[in-house]
Amino acid sequence: MQSWQPQTSRLYQTGATLDKTPGRNRPEIAREQQVEQRIHHAGLAGKIMSAEEAATHIQPGMTVGMSGFTGSGYPKAVPLALAGRIEAAQGRGEKFALRVLTGASTAPELDGALAKAGGIDFRLPYQSDPELRARINRGEIDYMDVHLGQVAQYTWFGFLGKIDLAVVEVAGILPDGRLIPSTSIGNNKTWLDLADKVILEVNSTQPLGLDGMHDIYYGTALPPNRQPIPLTQAGDHIGEPYLRVDPAKVVAVVKTHAPDRLGRFTPPDETSQRIAGHLVEFLKHEIRMGRLPENLLPLQSGVGNIANAVLGGLRDGGFSNLTAFTEVIQDGMLDLIRTDTIRMASATALSLSPEGVQEFARNIDHYRERIVLRPQEISNHAELVRRLGCIGINGMVEADLYGNVNSTHVAGTSIINGIGGSGDFARNGFLSCFVTPSTAKNGAISCIVPMVSHVDHTEHDVCIIVTEQGLADLRGLSPKQRARTVIANCAHPDYRPLLQDYFDRACRDSKGKHTPHLLGEALSWHERLVEQGSMRPN
């Protein structure tokens, strides 16, 4: 019977008995029991129902706040059941669409399924689902791209309307009704506080060892009643480990058993490693110049291959005693926490590969002492990013000669994912670094262009640009000084002469010579890309 024993929380033991329902097999029964063992509040246990039943609480036109941040901690069952309900309604000729607000990107079971069903009218913030993105770029779904650190306060301010319902994944429910958060916190505190109705998904696959790793700050307020946020180190605990919810608002509790659906971790390629090399060399130079302490300042690192390469570069570069104040902990950062290169990391989500999840579960007691998960309004808070002096390292689509950065749009019109938290860190941190390979699509695209086709980070907010070609340090430079170093250090050799030619002619022919441009030609590289599939001239 040993394998039947439900896993229990460190903190809570219950006397739940085995399910005797006929027709259910033993593993399924065990799974159901494991999750019931996580629901310690009698009133909420009485609201356990199927995802399909729960989804009947969601009506057309509602604004629904959902959990989920970079593919972790999103609800696994209710959105799928909801998509079914929507498809049935559409089949009957009834319109059924929602306003969907999340923490950040989710997964095919949420954004993908709802978008495919035609069930999303409006969506914010960051997303990455192919089906959702395609519909946004066909003009079928209204998408608003908000700084991740500002979604919660915009909701509290009333700028986004009323939150009708929240669907939030948790790892367990305490006897007093408080919730053990899951692998991401995102905007869950805000959705739970503000929604009229709440549906909880209790997921048996999320490790109960997460308990104690979260820090939910309940000290926020609306102006003019705000007080300083008492956090001065990345690892400070300033709140409580559990999410609060009014049990009377909870209309359904749904048991789920599916892990976060996250991709495999791929080792950094050569381009990423070269980018990481330039950045690590630069950080060492800054230490030598006395502008950074030996253990740097809290790192913020965007998601993906280059970010992981940079973290690997720091580990291999002999750094130690580092800290992170960031949004997401991916495998690259987990590895640095494992080896104590990073001694403390603050984030709002764990976004790990299946191997990363195993490693995390295996050494969860080690990680619990070194990881704090917070609401994204805190992980990305202007006050804290400024105070801590974060070093922001974020990917981008393209940069222009003058240091403006496009993080979101292909050729100015199609959204990729969204600005995420890059603006929260670039504007208020100590150092804002933006990284990209110098070209994309086998060289058809130059990621350094005369003028970016969309601006997410202005010339005022960009310190460092890095490609595999080199690093441009834009601090303290005028626009033309920036252009010279960007062309010399970051442009791909295939595009460098073209950029130099544009810049030379702009310096000669531009009406104003503070930020020289040829207005008729500034976006021509993107036009060529759209019309001919390449930025290269004919």
- Find the helix or strand (DSSP H, E) in which 281 lies: helix 270-288
Residues with catalytic function = 327
Instruction: Pick the binder of its own copies from 40, 255, 274, 454 (CB under 8 A).
Output: 454
- Map the footprint of its own copies across residues 380-409, applying CB under 8 A: 381-383, 386-389, 404, 409
Interaction between residue 287 and its own copies (CB under 8 A): no
Closest by CA position to 401, among listed 525, 280, 266, 219: 525
Alpha-carbon distance of 166 to 228, in angstroms, equals 28
What are the backbone angles phi and psi of residue 88, rounded to the nearest 5°? -65, -40
Minimal distance in Å, beta carbon 146 to its own copies? Answer: 7
- The response to whether 421 counts as a known ligand-binding position is yes
**Which listed residue (61, 175, 230, 533) binds its own copies by CB under 8 A?**
230
Establish whether 161 is an annotated binding residue.
Answer: no
Instruction: Determine if 502 is a binding residue for its own copies (CB under 8 A).
Output: no
**16 or 518: whose CB is closer to its own copies?**
518
Tokens 């495998």 appear where? 331
Is residue 498 part of the contact set for its own copies (CB under 8 A)? Answer: no
Here the tokens at position 456 are 């997410």
Q: Are strands 250-256 and 142-143 parallel, antiparallel or unpaired?
A: unpaired
Closer of 50 and 320 to its own copies (Cβ):
320
| Residues 416-435: x where in contact with its own copies by CB under 8 A, - otherwise, as a string | ---x---x---xx-x-----
Site for its own copies in 105-134 (CB under 8 A): 122
Q: Quick one: 160 or 170, whose CB is closer to its own copies?
A: 160
The span from the CA of 431 to the CA of 414, in Å, is 28
Residues touching its own copies, count (CB under 8 A)? 85
438 and 447 Cβ atoms separated by less than 8 Å: yes
* Residue of 18, 519, 532, 533 that binds its own copies (CB under 8 A): 519
Residue 196 found at the interface with its own copies (CB under 8 A) = no
- CB burial readout 125-164, b (16+ within 10 A) else e: bbbbbeebbebbbeeebebebbbbbbbbbbbbeeebeebb
158 touches its own copies (CB under 8 A): yes
* Segment near its own copies (CB under 8 A); pick from 188-196, 288-296, 341-349, 439-447: 288-296
Tell me if 97 contacts its own copies by CB under 8 A: no
Is 513 annotated to bind a ligand? Reply is no
Q: Taking CB under 8 A as the rule, does residue 27 contact its own copies?
A: no
> What is the residue-wise DSSP string for 212-271?
TSB-B------TTS-------STT---SBSSB---GGGEEEEEEE-PPP--PPP----HH
Integer-rounded Cα radius of gyration of the chain: 24
Cβ(169)–Cβ(255) under 8 Å?
A: no
Q: Is residue 279 near its own copies by the rule CB under 8 A?
A: no
Residue ranges of the binding site for CoA:
417, 421, 441
